[in-house]
């Protein structure tokens, strides 16, 4: 590649002159259209000019935000003050040990601890992530797995943020790492003998595609390939059933599934398929006693649960255990020796259905608030009468409960402490339905400080995700209080693409219906304005990853509706990414976004892809963030988008690109550095809507 000329770095620039990447034309034809990609060269991270450009943009962002330094420091102190720096999680029992995680003030990472039999027994720190991360700019754990006899620990370590994992086997009796396997993927499962385990590897596009069997201490070249998936639409995962009787292998695409089982006591036996894959049929498997409980969409748009004998689990033997219901979306099932807990969603809210497996008697765990989130917690033991979950709402801090499945007693074990002080009575939660242009009703959750005027004068931040069927729950976020306490209305738009209102809500926000997500967001913004929560010049939008795509698309569609846009690790170069099957996620996501080699898919993507639709017009304030080692949304997507915006936009509003040069998709790994990143984003929003230190 020829060297690409750049303007000098910001410290050498005249005041007010941003860095500009020069264009290097790259033209290709697709479906009769000639497409120009003038910033394609930014994909080459080995080119010093690329790094120089990213660093120049970083310096420009820092210079442009320098006047908010005091505000950023204030936000950081506030958010840190709401965190109990020295804290521990509620212990859970597994294999005769009590496990918990502990944090200490001043240390960025947790300590993983356990005590034998009793909580009064001496503490054993079986993994100190601070020690592992010492001297490193980034450190993440991709998973941990203790052997059934409690002797060995498997842990996956990522040192770059690029999801490149090394598997370590630690002997917990001696503290020594006794085995190491490089270049693995997430997912492990132990056999019953406590010496044999299964792990996953990925192909060159970071698609999990193979399962291997390994014996602790044996050379890697002796590992046995147990399962391999060659269809690029499918990803492989592995787990041990809660009962401990099976190792479960899943090969799943967005619209089809196939599960295989291996008796954990016979790890060398060949995998046995539960049900061969069929187009459009998704399913997953849980084991309980002599039955497999199978969560599936076969003939059930909102999913149902069937049961089949473990010896004959095929579809011919599937019998409805929890039938399909049009008004209830089934999200999953957890099976224990005597009970099952089904996660369901009705009227947009999650509930827990408890079933006695002997009698079939069922009841629901109920919750008091009108909008909330409830999530399964650690429940590793099969033979138990107690189910643990977490609960929170926009005003209720995260609370850990034990529910006694037989007696129905609900016990609060811990509620998140806010050391600097917190009074839920100072806030209000509103929930309403916003009318979409096609007649759909979009749920909206709103948090505001009591007494905030509803005359359009308040600033607001509207957040959404809207993809992959991921539901954004209205849960507690202590960081957001730094905005709300400054008079900002915080709103969540539960747009199509998530599953807040069932499977159809998801299906209506993907593929050739993806633009519903964008239109829903715009229509929610209009409804917030109509109801007096805010007005356009005081309204900001925020989204990350696929949510970054959403807010970037909205910036093209209705730029005048928003004062500011924060697009974190945004998926904005849709067509170019979906044309390149060598990139992580691309091939599998042809069933999520479409394949641009299909003319109809291409035309639809072309109509909304943010990078391809930048125009010569005025845009809101824009902050885009990315990370050099991001393997899910490559850094060059927001870099190219910002370069094109800078070349074409007609306004003088701030436009910043901020790249973390030592992290991946989720940003900084240490908790203190992460808070600083959030403070930067919030300062940008507050500055834009006139609510900074002097606002």
Q: CA 525 from chain center: how many Å?
A: 24
pLDDT at 17: 83
Torsion angles phi and psi, residue 175, rounded to 5: 85, 0
Average the pLDDT over 489-513 and give the result. 97
Is residue 695 very low, low, confident or very high in pLDDT (cuts 50, 70, 90)?
very low
Phi-psi label, residue 504: left if phi above 0, alpha if psi -120 to 50, beta otherwise: alpha
Q: In this structure, what token pair is assigned to residue 131?
A: 């020690």
Q: For residue 479, what are its two tokens?
A: 């960081």
The residues with which 376 forms a beta bridge, in sequence order, are 389
Q: Examine the pLDDT at 27 and tell me if it is beyond 80.
A: yes
Q: What is residue 25's predicted lDDT score, i.e. its pLDDT?
A: 82
pLDDT (tens digit per residue) in 257-291: 999 999 999 999 999 999 999 999 999 999 999 99
The secondary element (H helix, E strand) that includes residue 600 is: helix 599-606
State the Cα–Cα distance between residues 43 and 55, nearest whole angstrom.
15
Our measurement of the distance from residue 380's CA atom to the centroid of its chain's CA atoms, rounded to an integer in Å, reads 22
pLDDT tens digits for range 315-332: 999 999 999 999 999 999
**Which pair of tokens denotes residue 281?**
């049929």
pLDDT at 693: 61
Is 251's pLDDT higher than 60?
Answer: yes
**pTM summary value:** 0.95
User: Is it the case that residue 79 has pLDDT exceeding 70?
Assistant: yes
pLDDT computed for residue 320 by the predictor: 98
Distances (CA, A) of 247 to 118, 236, 335: 29, 13, 15
What is the pLDDT at residue 16?
Answer: 65
For residue 507, what are its two tokens? 């299906």
Q: With beta carbons less than 8 A apart as the criterion, state whether 337 and 386 touch.
A: no
Please check whether residue 229 is in contact with residue 260, taking contact to mean a CB–CB distance below 8 angstroms. Answer: no
Residue 247: name the closest of 280, 285, 202, 208 by CA: 285
DSSP helix/strand/coil, 24: coil
User: What are the DSSP E strand ranges found in 310-450?
Assistant: 319-322, 329-335, 339-346, 349-356, 362-365, 373-376, 386-392, 399-404, 410-415, 427-435, 441-449
Whether the per-residue pLDDT at 11 is higher than 50: the answer is: no
Task: Please compute the mean of the pLDDT values over residues 515-543 and round it to a whole number.
Answer: 98
Which secondary-structure segment (H or E) carries 101?
strand 97-103
DSSP at 7 = P
Q: How far apart are CA 688 and CA 695, in angstroms?
A: 10
- Give me 358's structure tokens: 């002997």
pLDDT at 3: 31
Using alpha carbons only, give the angle 683, 57, 629 rounded to the nearest 5 degrees. Answer: 90
Name the nearest CA neighbour of 313 among 286, 343, 282, 280. Answer: 286
Distance CA 224, CA 640 (A): 43
Is the model's pLDDT at 6 over the cut of 90? no
- pLDDT beyond 70 at 10: no
Count of CB atoms situated within 10 Å of the CB of 599: 12
Note the pLDDT of residue 290.
Answer: 93
Tens of pLDDT, residue by residue over 596-606, are 999 999 999 99
Residue-wise pLDDT tens digits, 552-563: 999 999 999 999
Compute the distance between CA of residue 188 and CA of residue 145 in angstroms, rounded to an integer: 7
Q: Average pLDDT over the chain, rounded to whole?
A: 95
Residue 9 — pLDDT band, cuts 50, 70, 90?
A: very low
Q: Is the pLDDT of residue 564 over 90?
A: yes
**Phi and psi for 231 in degrees, rounded to 5?**
-80, 120
The residues annotated with a catalytic role in the active site are 545, 630, 665
* CA-wise closest residue to 542 among 607, 500, 490: 490
Judge whether residue 628 has pLDDT over 80: yes
Mean pLDDT of 68-96: 97
| All residues at 6 or more sequence positions from 128 whose CB lies less than 8 Å from its CB, including other chains | 109, 111, 112
CA distance linking residue 213 with residue 412, whole number of Å: 41
pLDDT at 366: 85
Q: Does the pLDDT at position 632 exceed 60?
A: yes
- Angle at which helix 515-530 crosses helix 546-557, to 10 degrees, equals 70
């Amino acid at each position: 590649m020829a060297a690409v000329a750049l303007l000098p770095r910001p410290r050498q620039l005249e005041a007010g002159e941003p860095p500009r990447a020069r264009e290097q034309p790259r033209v290709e034809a697709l479906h009769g259209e000639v497409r120009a990609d003038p910033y394609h060269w930014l994909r080459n991270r080995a080119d010093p000019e690329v790094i120089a450009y990213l660093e120049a943009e970083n310096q420009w962002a820092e210079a442009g935000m320098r006047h908010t330094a005091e505000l950023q420091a204030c936000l950081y102190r506030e958010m840190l003050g709401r965190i109990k720096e020295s804290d521990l999680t509620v212990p859970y029992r597994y294999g005769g040990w009590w496990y918990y995680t502990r944090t200490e003030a001043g240390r960025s990472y947790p300590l993983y601890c356990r005590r034998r039999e009793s909580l009064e027994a001496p503490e054993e720190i079986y993994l100190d992530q601070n020690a592992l991360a010492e001297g490193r700019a980034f450190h993440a754990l991709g998973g941990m797995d203790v052997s059934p006899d409690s002797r060995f620990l498997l842990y996956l370590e990522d040192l770059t943020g690029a999801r490149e994992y090394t598997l370590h086997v630690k002997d917990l009796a001696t503290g020594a790492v006794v085995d190491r396997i490089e270049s693995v993927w997430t997912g492990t499962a132990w056999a019953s003998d406590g010496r044999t385990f299964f792990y996953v590897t990925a192909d060159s596009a970071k698609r999990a595609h193979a399962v291997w069997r390994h014996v602790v201490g044996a050379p890697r070249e002796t590992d046995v390939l147990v399962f391999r998936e060659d269809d690029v639409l499918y990803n492989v995962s592995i787990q041990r059933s809660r009962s401990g009787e099976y190792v479960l292998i899943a090969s799943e695409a967005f619209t089809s599934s196939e599960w295989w089982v291996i008796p954990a006591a016979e790890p060398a036996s060949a995998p046995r398929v539960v049900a061969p894959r069929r187009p459009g049929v998704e399913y997953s498997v849980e084991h309980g006693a002599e039955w497999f409980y199978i969560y599936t969409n076969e003939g059930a748009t909102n999913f149902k649960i069937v049961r089949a004998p473990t010896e004959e689990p095929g579809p011919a033997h599937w019998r409805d255990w929890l039938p399909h219901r049009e008004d209830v979306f089934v999200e999953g099932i957890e099976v224990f020796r005597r009970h099952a807990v089904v996660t369901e969603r009705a009227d947009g809210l999650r509930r827990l259905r408890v079933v006695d497996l002997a009698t079939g008697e069922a009841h629901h765990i109920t919750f008091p608030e009108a909008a909330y989130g409830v999530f399964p917690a650690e429940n590793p033991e099969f033979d138990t009468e107690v189910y643990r979950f977490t609960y929170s709402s926009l005003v209720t801090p995260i609370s850990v409960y034990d529910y006694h499945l037989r007696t129905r007693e609900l016990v609060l074990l811990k509620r998140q402490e806010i050391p600097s002080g917190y009074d839920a009575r100072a806030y209000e939660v509103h929930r309403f339905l916003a009318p979409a242009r096609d007649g759909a009703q979009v749920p909206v959750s709103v948090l505001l400080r009591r007494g905030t005027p509803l005359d359009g004068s308040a600033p607001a931040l509207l957040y959404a995700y809207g993809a992959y069927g991921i539901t954004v729950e209205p849960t507690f976020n202590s960081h957001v209080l730094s905005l709300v306490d400054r008079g900002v209305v915080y709103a969540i738009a539960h747009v199509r693409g998530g599953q807040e209102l069932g499977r159809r809500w998801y299906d209506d926000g993907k593929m050739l219906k993806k633009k519903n997500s964008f239109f829903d967001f715009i229509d929610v913004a209009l409804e917030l304005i109509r109801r007096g929560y805010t007005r356009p010049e005081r309204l900001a939008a925020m989204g990350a990853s696929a949510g970054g795509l959403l807010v970037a698309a909205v910036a093209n569609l209705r730029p005048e509706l928003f004062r500011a846009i924060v697009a974190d690790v945004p998926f904005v170069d849709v067509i170019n990414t979906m044309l390149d099957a060598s990139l992580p996620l691309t091939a599998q996501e042809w069933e999520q976004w479409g394949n641009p080699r299909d003319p109809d898919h291409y035309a639809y993507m072309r109509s909304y892809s943010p990078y391809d639709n930048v125009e010569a017009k005025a845009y809101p304030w824009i902050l885009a963030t990315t990370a050099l080692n991001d393997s899910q949304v490559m850094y060059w997507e927001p870099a190219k988008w910002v370069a094109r915006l800078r070349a074409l936009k007609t306004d003088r509003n701030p436009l910043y690109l901020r790249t973390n040069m030592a992290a991946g998709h989720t940003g900084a790994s240490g908790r203190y550095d992460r808070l600083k990143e959030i403070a930067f984003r919030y300062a940008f929003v507050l500055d834009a809507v006139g609510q900074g230190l002097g606002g």
